[in-house]
Every structure is written in C-alpha cells, then in structure tokens.
Amino acid sequence: MSDLRRPWFTLTKTGAVVPAVFEVLIGLFGLVVQVLNIASGVPVQALTVIILIVAVLLVAQGVADLVWWSKDGRRARARQV
C-alpha cells in the first residue's frame, strides 16, 4: 500500500478518471475564454490574469492526475483495496 501513496498533486483517491477529465475540460474552457477576452482588445484586468493562471493550473493538475494513476497499474490496485 505504501507505493500507492498519492503525491501532493493528485486529488482522486481511487484513480477515477472523470474528475481529472473535468479538471482538464474546465481549465481548457477557462483558458480559451480568457485568451479570447485578452484578444478582444479590452484592457486586461487583474481578475483575467488570475483566472488565466488558475485555468493553467487546473489543466496541469488534471493531466498530472491522469498520468500518475495510469502508471504501473495504480488505478487497478487502488480499486482492489
């Protein structure tokens, strides 16, 4: 069980794919919306930059979670426990 200890960047406890996919999708949606907002020519506000950073972090979190759980059969072993 010690090898199944999750690193700090994984949120799911059983290796569920859906929450990580939602993180990536929400992050990509936020990223696209903010890039379109910046490209529209409106002066950039601090909130836009904050949302842009959070969107990038959400995408990174989701991808890291998917990658970590997909290695060495961790998802299957976590569901057996």
Provide the pLDDT for residue 12: 62
For the chain, the domain total comes to 1
d(CA 79, CA 14): 6
In a domain, 2, yes or no: no
In a domain, 7, yes or no: no
Dihedral over alpha carbons 32, 57, 7, 70 (to 10 degrees) = 10
Tell me which residue of 4, 68, 61 sits closest to 27, measured CA to CA: 61
Q: Which domain holds residue 75?
A: 13-80
Interval 18-59: pLDDT, tens: 788 888 999 999 999 999 999 998 899 999 999 999 999 989
In a domain, 33, yes or no: yes
In a domain, 5, yes or no: no
